[in-house]
Structure 1
Amino acid sequence: MEVGKYLTNIGVLGAAAGVVSTARRTSTMPRDWRRFIVWGVWAAGLILAVSSVAMQERDEDEAEI
C-alpha cells in the first residue's frame, strides 16, 4: 500500500479538507443526534474517496486484460 497515492489524490484531499466545514457547522448545532449524522456523512465521504483510490489500481489491471 502506497500512502503517496492517497495523499496526492484530489478526491481524498477534498474529502479530508471537508473536516473544517463540518467542524464549523457542528460547532453551532445543538448536541443531539443530528450532529452525529453530519459527522457520519463526512466520514462516509472520506471512506468513499479512499476506497476509490484503492480500487483504481485494480480497475486499471482489469482494463488491461
Structure 2
Amino acid sequence: MSIGKYLTNMGVIGALFGALGTARQAQSMPRDWRRFLVWGVWAAGLVLAIVGVAKQLDDEQFEAE
C-alpha cells in the first residue's frame, strides 16, 4: 500500500483541512461533552475518507468483472 494515494485524495485532504474549522468551533464552545462530540464526528469523517480510499481498488476490480 502506498501512502501517496491517501495524501493526494481530495476526500482525505478535505477531511484533514476540516480540522481547522473543527478547532475554531471547539474553541468557542464550553468545555463539556459537546466538544468531544464535535471532534468525534470530525474523526469519523476522516476515517470514512481513508477507508474509502482503501476500498477504491476493490471497487474498481468489482466493476471490471
TM-score range, shorter chain: over 0.9
Deviation track 1:21-48 (CA, whole Å, cap 9, x = no partner) reads: 1001001111100001000000000000
Note the aligned Cα RMSD (angstroms).
Answer: 0.6
Question: Gaps (5+ residues) in structure 2?
Answer: none
Runs of 4+ in structure 1 over 4 Å off: none
Q: Which residue of 2 aligns with 1:38?
A: 38
Determine helix, strand or coil for the equivalent of 2:55: helix
Q: Distance in 2 between matches of 1:39 and 1:56?
A: 26
- Give the CA deviation at 1:11: 0.5
Between the two proteins, the alignment pairs up a number of residues equal to: 65
Residues of 2 paired with 1:63 and 1:14: CA distance?
Answer: 26
